Amino acid sequence: MEHVQISRLLQNLLITVILVTTMIFASTWLIPVSWAFLFACLLYPVCMFIERKGLNRTLTSMLVTLLFCVIMFFIMYFLIMQALLIIQTNDNVLHKIKEGIESVILHIQSKTGLEFYHPHSLKESLSTIFQNGMSVISTQLSSVGTNVLTIALTPVFLFFILNLRGLVKAFYIKNYKGNDLESIQTFITKSLTSMKNYLWGTMILTAVTAVMTYIILMLFGVKSAIFFSVFLAILNIIPYLGNLIAYIAILSFVWVTKESVSILIYITICLYFSNMIQENILRPKLVGDKMEINAFLVLSAVMLGAIIWGVSGMVLFVPFLGIAKALVESNPEWNKYALLFASADHTKKIPFAKLKEKIGAKKSNGSTPDV
């Protein structure tokens, strides 16, 4: 018995190693396919609506893919042009950053009595940081070709997935019967429903985040408020880490462009409360309830995705986690592991659900429940 368990453990470990290795070496193909699948789940209701109007599937897929390309082009064009405009109109940002760092360090030295900084040493430090930054930029530029290939291939795969989506259903209906067919149908239904709900919830949350951030930045007269609100909303797609990166960028820009420290503090407070509303009220209602996956697994998926696929992995591995949860729940042998995916809120709801069932059963029997 022990020998069989060790054999199964080694087999599962080997499968995991092969899967991760394949994801790394086949990333050039897998990343655009995964993005296309994600967008296909989002655009599937649009395709169904157009097809019900009488247009055939091929023309519908072409039309929806073209619409998707136009929307993505205008979003990318807007972000790039706004970023270039910010750079052109704020060419003294580096000088302001230097002055700000010097003033903060000198203030700390005056309060603590410690002398660990001399004004001329900052130039050498900035030079070193600049050299390191250039090496990072050169590394990123080496992957531009891969990113361009991903952007170019995603609409192509999106069209094929939308146009040929019926083949998957025809395949498993023809080749599987009985319990196997039921398990496959359960898995596909749960995974697609989870993906669709998660994506639409994320889209609504992204729009609300953009509006709230724009209002806050406009109230304090921050330049390029539209750009930073869209920037924050897009990064908000990455759970937990996206908001942190966006807030650092926004507050850094406010710090070097605004003379008043009080404005920076007020904006920080407003963004903090805005983030509290989004994470504690909106995200659980719009996204969290759709996935029912605990935060530890979500954060682990984000970090693992960053290691394997970079930025694309940080976004894609969260819905992949939902697919993994659907796979575990639809397989009778793996169903016992589904509890590991559950969030704390979900586990707290179990006793209450049982209580409601008990009350309903007693009502159906005509008796008064004892609570």
Q: How far apart are CA 361 and CA 224, in angstroms?
A: 59
Is residue 33 very low, low, confident or very high in pLDDT (cuts 50, 70, 90)?
very high
Is residue 148 very low, low, confident or very high in pLDDT (cuts 50, 70, 90)?
confident
Alpha carbons within 13 A on the beta-carbon side of 25 = 6
Spatial CB neighbours of 41, under 8 Å, sequence gap ≥ 6? 192, 195, 196, 199, 319
Q: What's the length of the chain?
A: 371
Contact 329, 335 (CB under 8 A): yes
Q: Is residue 2 part of a domain?
A: yes
The two tokens of residue 324 are: 């993994």
Q: How far apart are CA 337 and CA 366, in angstroms?
A: 38
Answer whether residue 270 shows pLDDT above 60.
Answer: yes
The whole-chain average pLDDT of the chain stands at 76
Nearest to 291 by CA among 199, 203, 204: 199
In the chain, where do the E strands start and end? none
Q: How much is the pLDDT for 116? A: 54
Q: Is residue 253 part of a domain?
A: no
Cβ-in-10-Å burial (0-12, 13-18, 19+) of 64 comes to buried
Is residue 265 very low, low, confident or very high in pLDDT (cuts 50, 70, 90)?
confident
Three-state SS at 70: helix
pTM: 0.72
Answer whether residue 269 shows pLDDT above 80.
Answer: yes
Q: How much is the pLDDT for 314? A: 86
Task: Give the angle subtended at the CA of 76 by the CAs of 131 and 250, to the nearest 5°.
Answer: 55
Nearest to 263 by CA among 213, 228, 225, 220: 220
Q: Is residue 203 part of a domain?
A: no
The two tokens of residue 50 are: 């157009």
Total domains in the chain come to: 1
Answer whether residue 90 shows pLDDT above 70.
Answer: no
Residue type for position 1: M
Task: Give the angle subtended at the CA of 71 by the CAs of 215 and 63, to the nearest 5°.
Answer: 145
Q: Is residue 273 part of a domain?
A: no
Stronger pLDDT, 251 or 359, i.e. the higher one: 251
Q: Is residue 97 part of a domain?
A: yes
Could you count the other beta carbons within 10 Å of the beta carbon of residue 317? 23
The two tokens of residue 163 are: 């146009």
The position carrying tokens 């996206």 is 242
Q: How far apart are CA 102 and CA 92, in angstroms?
A: 16
Spatial CB neighbours of 115, under 8 Å, sequence gap ≥ 6? 109
Please state at what angle helix 27-52 crosses helix 295-309, rounded to 10 degrees.
120
How far the first Cα of the chain sits from its last, in Å, is 47
Q: How far apart are CA 155 and CA 19, in angstroms?
A: 25
Q: How much is the pLDDT for 234? A: 83
Q: How far apart are CA 27 and CA 18, in angstroms?
A: 14
Nearest to 284 by CA among 178, 183, 205: 205
Q: Is residue 304 part of a domain?
A: no
Domain that holds residue 161: 1-110+150-165
Max mean pLDDT among 45-54, 112-121, 251-260 falls in: 45-54
Q: How far apart are CA 290 and CA 346, in angstroms?
A: 11
Q: How much is the pLDDT for 343? A: 67
The whole-number average pLDDT for the span 224-236 is 84
For the chain, state the CA radius of gyration.
26
Nearest to 185 by CA among 368, 10, 42, 326: 326
Spatial CB neighbours of 129, under 8 Å, sequence gap ≥ 6? none
Q: Is residue 275 part of a domain?
A: no
Q: Is residue 269 part of a domain?
A: no
